């Protein structure tokens, strides 16, 4: 598998994030009273009726809920991002519900509420944003999850915002990446993005060592070296390329390579093995704008992917931020195209 084969595919997945995501079923149902509170929509399928205005969800103690769907077109009204389950066990998305009704399963796992499943006609997943009666929810839904069995936690959206150092204020949100097995089975994987105001988003994943890219890992590293060598021979002096291989003070290598490119933008991968883990970040930069938006309106990342990745490495290692002197470029090292930031 080539970098160029993987990148465009996942670039498309990131751009379409949340459209057709599915959550595995099999989590034991919880009493209906545990769903009372405030929830934030994480993901759903692309069926307008799933989170449409006018839908009423009535939760039952047996782990199912009745769903009442409104009549008419439900796709043209804006949907809220936060939902409240009332004391009577109902979740109403502003409006009246008259029309089709059905019953689907729901379940709670930690602070996540899953409605439906891969086998159902629709799927909805929410994350608790208030204090939970069961004590399992985080008060801040954007805080990094607690480390499990010593696994380093994922960075928060605030940390990623600080590492990227945007040129303007940006409200990044962290969400679980639905296409988790795109590069191997991760311990965790999140996408950090904003609905507007920036072209950049990051996918960050942590894996057990030598799991990232699976059997293709060695070939990927070799191809990265080939790309670096080729770029060194072809680049113009006034136009630095975007591929690089850096060697840290402990001897491990960090690979940077472009893995997605097209009319809509491009994507860049950085990855390494750090201790007993593989660490990866995929930086996506979109060039598409909505009606009325201009490129000048967007907040730009002002730090290179290399600088960003060093902060991420430090977070995983639990150390202070890496100094530039701790890493040396390979003989074929090339500065990335965003080298002039910071």
Tell me the C-alpha distance between 225 and 67, whole Å: 55
Q: Which two tokens stand for residue 62?
A: 């047996």
Tell me the C-alpha distance between 14 and 200, whole Å: 11
Residue 336: its pLDDT value, please?
Answer: 37
Environment class of 236 (CB within 10 Å of its CB; exposed 0-12, middle 13-18, buried 19+): exposed
- Of 90, 104, 100, 121, nearest to 22 by C-alpha is 121
Tell me the C-alpha distance between 209 and 219, whole Å: 16
The tens place of each residue's pLDDT in the chain, 342 residues long, gives 344 444 443 443 344 333 333 333 333 344 445 666 666 666 655 444 444 444 555 665 555 556 555 554 444 344 444 455 555 555 544 433 344 445 556 677 667 777 766 555 556 667 766 543 333 333 333 444 434 447 888 899 999 999 999 999 988 888 887 666 778 888 888 889 886 678 889 999 999 999 999 888 988 898 888 888 877 766 554 444 568 899 999 999 999 988 765 555 678 889 999 999 999 999 988 765 555 556 667 888 999 999 999 999 999 988 434 444 445 554 333 333 333 344
Length of the chain: 342
φ, ψ for residue 214, nearest 5 deg? 55, -135
Tell me the C-alpha distance between 70 and 330, whole Å: 62
Tell me the C-alpha distance between 260 and 281, whole Å: 13
37's CB contacts (< 8 A; 6+ apart) are 84, 85, 128, 130, 131, 132, 133
- Of 208, 200, 174, 228, nearest to 305 by C-alpha is 200
Q: CA torsion 177→183→188→192, rounded to 10°? A: -40
Residue 181: its pLDDT value, please?
Answer: 75
Q: Are 272 and 253 in contact (CB under 8 A)?
A: yes
**DSSP result, 264-276:** TEEEEEEEEEETT
């Amino acid at each position: 598998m080539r970098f160029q084969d993987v990148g465009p595919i996942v670039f498309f997945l990131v751009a379409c994030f949340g459209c057709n995501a599915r959550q595995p079923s099999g989590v034991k149902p919880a009493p209906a009273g545990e769903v009372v509170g405030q929830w934030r929509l994480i993901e759903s399928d692309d069926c307008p009726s799933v989170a449409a205005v006018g839908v009423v969800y009535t939760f039952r103690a047996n782990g199912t809920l009745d769903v009442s769907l409104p009549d008419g077109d439900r796709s043209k009204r804006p949907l809220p991002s936060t939902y409240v389950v009332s004391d009577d066990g109902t979740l109403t998305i502003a409006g009246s519900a008259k029309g089709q009704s059905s019953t689907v399963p729901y379940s709670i796992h930690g602070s996540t509420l899953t409605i439906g499943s891969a086998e159902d006609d629709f799927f909805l997943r929410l994350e608790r944003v208030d204090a939970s009666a069961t004590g399992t929810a985080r008060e801040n839904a954007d805080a990094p999850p607690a480390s499990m069995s010593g696994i380093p936690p994922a960075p928060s959206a605030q940390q990623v915002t600080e590492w990227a150092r945007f040129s303007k204020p940006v409200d990044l949100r962290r969400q679980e990446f639905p296409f988790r097995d795109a590069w191997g089975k991760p311990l965790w994987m999140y996408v950090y993005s904003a609905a507007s105001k920036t072209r950049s988003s990051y996918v960050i994943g942590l894996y057990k060592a030598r799991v990232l890219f699976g059997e293709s890992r060695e070939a990927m590293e070799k191809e990265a070296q080939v790309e670096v060598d080729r770029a060194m021979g072809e680049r113009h002096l006034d136009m630095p390329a975007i591929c690089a291989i850096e060697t840290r003070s402990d001897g491990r290598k960090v690979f940077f390579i472009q893995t997605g490119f097209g009319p809509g933008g491009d994507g860049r991968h950085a990855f390494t093995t750090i201790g007993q883990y593989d660490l990866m970040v995929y930086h996506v930069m979109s060039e598409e704008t909505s009606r009325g938006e201009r490129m000048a309106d967007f907040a730009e990342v002002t730090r290179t992917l290399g600088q960003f990745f060093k902060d991420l490495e430090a977070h995983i290692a639990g150390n202070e931020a890496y100094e530039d002197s701790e890493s040396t470029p390979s003989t074929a090292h090339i500065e990335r195209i965003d080298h002039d930031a910071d």
